Amino acid sequence: MSQQDMALMAHLLRRAGFGATRQELEGYLTKGYEATVEELLNPGDAQSMPDDVIRRYHTDMAEMRELYSVASYWMYRMITTRCPLEEKLALFWHGLFATGYSKLNQARSLLNQIEMFRRQALGPLPDFLLELSKDPAMIIWLDNNDNHKDAINENYGRELLELFSMGIGNYTEDDVKECARAFTGWTLGNAEYMATRASKDSIWPYSRMLGISNTATTTTMTPRKPSWVKPAILMARTSSTSSPSRKPPRASSVPACSNFSLRTRWTRTASR
């Protein structure tokens, strides 16, 4: 193998992935340049680090509700995958079809959106945009959950035409209005239920109150108290040996509908 071949392969894997080690480069050179390109464009089993291995050292990744857990989980996949172009394209589309934890307040929805990016990354753009329009994270991020036939919200329709497909100057305001009308009723199928869960702070598997349970093991709780007042009660009844600097967590400030499942009612039953 020549140094020029090595440099060419290294360039390919930097652009179609995240680089490669010397050993990996030599393996790809053995396959040949054309065969490597075909392998990158037709990803198979990613063979990334198994979930059980990751969770052995990062128990927080079992739920995937916190942003740092999801970010770390995706980083592990980027580092260990056998399909680097798949992750590189998912990262590219994540930068274009951007959503964020600051509004969603549910990191798992971001992870599922990234999985959708992987599936659609090399497919036709119309099919991609259709799946994007049904994605819960995008529905919340661009307010299509508030887009109803009697109260049109143009946010998603405008972004779809301006940023995601046609571009400025290639559509009219009437196009935006009609596009927004077409997406009325594409919303979350269980928003009320998930909003109730979020308001009760029961979205956590064992509730957040466990964080202070070690200071109140002998405390008897007053019956029939709502779960969200438990932290304050527990802290008020702890013994004097408890740390005075320890403060109870604030009640959940999760906005309504922020923690939603992936079941989306996207048929336009309420449209027009």
**Tell me, what DSSP letter sits at residue 66?**
S
Tokens of 3: 């140094």
pLDDT of residue 198 exceeding 70, the answer is no
- Do the beta carbons of residue 132 and residue 94 sit within 8 Å? no
pLDDT of residue 162 exceeding 80, the answer is yes
Q: How many residues does the chain have?
A: 272
- Do the beta carbons of residue 85 and residue 91 sit within 8 Å? no
Read off the pLDDT of each residue in 82-100 and give the average, rounded to a whole number.
Answer: 94
pLDDT of residue 254 exceeding 80, the answer is no
List, as one string, the DSSP characters of 114-177. HHHHHHHTTS-HHHHHHHHHT-HHHHHHTTGGG-BTTB---HHHHHIIIIISS-TTSS-HHHHH
Full-prediction pTM beyond 0.75?
no
Q: What distance in Å separates the CA atoms of residue 69 and residue 84, rounded to the nearest whole number? A: 21
> Residue 128 to residues 118, 157, 200: CA-CA distances in angstroms?
10, 15, 36
Q: What distance in Å separates the CA atoms of residue 130 and residue 144, rounded to the nearest whole number? A: 14
Phi/psi of residue 151, nearest 5 degrees: -150, 85
Domain boundaries, the chain: 3-41, 51-191+258-265, 204-253
SS3 262: coil
pLDDT of residue 252 exceeding 80, the answer is no
pLDDT of residue 96 exceeding 70, the answer is yes
Predicted confidence (pLDDT) per residue in 98-135, tens digit: 899 888 888 888 999 999 999 999 999 999 999 999 99
SS3 256: coil
Q: What distance in Å separates the CA atoms of residue 103 and residue 43, rounded to the nearest whole number? A: 33
- Do the beta carbons of residue 85 and residue 14 sit within 8 Å? no
